[in-house]
Protein backbone atom coordinates (compact mmCIF):
# COMPACT_ATOMS: atom_id res chain seq x y z
CA UNK A 1 0.00 0.00 0.00
CA UNK A 2 1.62 3.24 -1.14
CA UNK A 3 0.55 6.61 0.30
CA UNK A 4 1.70 10.23 0.51
CA UNK A 5 1.61 12.64 3.43
CA UNK A 6 2.46 16.34 3.58
CA UNK A 7 3.71 17.90 6.81
CA UNK A 8 6.57 19.53 8.70
CA UNK A 9 9.75 17.66 9.61
CA UNK A 10 9.69 17.48 13.41
CA UNK A 11 12.67 15.18 14.06
CA UNK A 12 15.42 13.58 11.94
CA UNK A 13 17.38 10.76 13.53
CA UNK A 14 20.88 9.51 12.85
CA UNK A 15 21.52 6.59 10.53
CA UNK A 16 21.55 3.29 12.46
CA UNK A 17 23.52 0.25 11.31
CA UNK A 18 21.10 -2.46 12.50
CA UNK A 19 23.05 -5.43 11.10
CA UNK A 20 26.11 -5.79 8.89
CA UNK A 21 23.89 -5.55 5.80
CA UNK A 22 20.96 -3.45 7.02
CA UNK A 23 20.75 0.24 7.96
CA UNK A 24 17.85 2.55 8.67
CA UNK A 25 17.11 6.17 9.55
CA UNK A 26 13.99 7.40 11.31
CA UNK A 27 12.20 10.73 11.12
CA UNK A 28 9.00 12.22 12.50
CA UNK A 29 6.54 14.32 10.53
CA UNK A 30 4.21 16.82 12.21
CA UNK A 31 0.77 16.92 10.57
CA UNK A 32 -2.43 18.66 11.57
CA UNK A 33 -5.45 16.33 11.54
CA UNK A 34 -8.42 18.54 12.30
CA UNK A 35 -7.86 20.00 15.77
CA UNK A 36 -5.20 17.44 16.67
CA UNK A 37 -1.50 17.42 15.86
CA UNK A 38 -0.18 14.01 14.84
CA UNK A 39 3.47 12.89 14.93
CA UNK A 40 3.87 9.72 12.84
CA UNK A 41 7.34 8.13 12.77
CA UNK A 42 8.73 6.95 9.43
CA UNK A 43 11.83 5.00 8.53
CA UNK A 44 14.03 4.97 5.45
CA UNK A 45 16.27 1.99 4.78
CA UNK A 46 19.48 1.16 2.93
CA UNK A 47 20.40 3.66 0.17
CA UNK A 48 17.23 5.70 0.86
CA UNK A 49 18.72 6.93 4.20
CA UNK A 50 20.85 9.57 2.47
CA UNK A 51 17.74 11.34 1.12
CA UNK A 52 17.30 12.91 4.57
CA UNK A 53 20.73 14.61 4.42
CA UNK A 54 19.35 17.57 2.46
CA UNK A 55 16.54 18.35 4.92
CA UNK A 56 16.28 20.11 8.29
CA UNK A 57 13.61 20.11 10.96
CA UNK A 58 10.92 22.69 10.32
CA UNK A 59 10.84 22.15 6.55
CA UNK A 60 7.57 21.35 4.76
CA UNK A 61 7.87 18.02 2.92
CA UNK A 62 5.89 15.48 0.95
CA UNK A 63 6.67 11.90 2.01
CA UNK A 64 5.86 8.89 -0.19
CA UNK A 65 5.66 5.73 1.90
CA UNK A 66 4.39 2.19 2.20
CA UNK A 67 2.52 0.76 5.17
CA UNK A 68 4.08 -2.48 6.38
CA UNK A 69 2.74 -4.87 9.01
CA UNK A 70 4.38 -7.86 10.67
CA UNK A 71 3.47 -10.61 13.09
CA UNK A 72 5.81 -11.30 16.01
CA UNK A 73 5.59 -14.27 18.39
CA UNK A 74 7.47 -14.58 21.66
CA UNK A 75 6.79 -16.89 24.62
CA UNK A 76 3.53 -18.03 23.04
CA UNK A 77 2.22 -14.47 22.67
CA UNK A 78 1.55 -13.09 19.21
CA UNK A 79 1.84 -9.36 18.59
CA UNK A 80 1.52 -7.23 15.49
CA UNK A 81 3.37 -4.10 14.56
CA UNK A 82 3.12 -1.58 11.78
CA UNK A 83 5.85 0.49 10.18
CA UNK A 84 5.73 3.39 7.76
CA UNK A 85 8.54 2.82 5.26
CA UNK A 86 9.33 6.01 3.39
CA UNK A 87 10.89 5.66 -0.03
CA UNK A 88 10.89 9.28 -1.19
CA UNK A 89 10.89 12.69 0.50
CA UNK A 90 10.49 15.97 -1.37
CA UNK A 91 10.50 19.61 -0.34
CA UNK A 92 7.21 21.48 -0.57
CA UNK A 93 7.49 25.20 -1.36
CA UNK A 94 5.89 27.48 1.23
CA UNK A 95 2.42 28.57 0.11
CA UNK A 96 2.44 26.36 -2.97
CA UNK A 97 0.87 23.08 -3.90
CA UNK A 98 2.48 19.75 -3.25
CA UNK A 99 4.55 18.36 -6.14
CA UNK A 100 1.95 15.64 -6.57
CA UNK A 101 -0.57 18.33 -7.50
CA UNK A 102 -3.11 17.16 -4.96
CA UNK A 103 -4.06 20.74 -4.09
CA UNK A 104 -2.84 20.36 -0.52
CA UNK A 105 -0.16 22.93 0.16
CA UNK A 106 1.34 23.42 3.59
CA UNK A 107 -0.79 26.53 4.07
CA UNK A 108 -3.96 24.40 4.17
CA UNK A 109 -2.76 22.10 6.93
CA UNK A 110 -4.46 19.22 5.12
CA UNK A 111 -3.29 15.66 5.20
CA UNK A 112 -2.93 14.13 1.75
CA UNK A 113 -3.43 10.36 1.68
CA UNK A 114 -3.19 9.54 -2.01
CA UNK A 115 -2.37 6.11 -3.36
CA UNK A 116 0.73 6.17 -5.52
CA UNK A 117 0.06 4.13 -8.65
CA UNK A 118 3.53 4.69 -10.05
CA UNK A 119 5.78 1.66 -10.07
CA UNK A 120 8.61 2.10 -7.58
CA UNK A 121 11.90 0.31 -7.15
CA UNK A 122 11.05 -1.44 -3.89
CA UNK A 123 11.69 -5.20 -3.92
CA UNK A 124 8.34 -6.11 -2.31
* Domain boundaries defined on the chain: 2-91
Fold annotation for 2-91: OB fold (Dihydrolipoamide Acetyltransferase, E2P) (2.40.50)
Of the candidates 48, 59, 82, 66, which has an alpha carbon nearest to the alpha carbon of residue 115? 66
pTM of the model: 0.69
Residues 95-118 have a mean pLDDT of: 42
Q: Does residue 7 carry a pLDDT above 90?
A: yes
The DSSP string of 92-118 is --TTS--TT--S--TTTT--------S
pLDDT tens sequence across 26-83: 999 999 988 999 999 999 999 999 999 999 999 999 999 999 999 999 999 999 999 9
Amino acid sequence: MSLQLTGTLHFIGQEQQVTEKFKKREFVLKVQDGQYEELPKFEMTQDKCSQLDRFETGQQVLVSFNVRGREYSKNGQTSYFTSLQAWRIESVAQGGESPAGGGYGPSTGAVDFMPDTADNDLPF
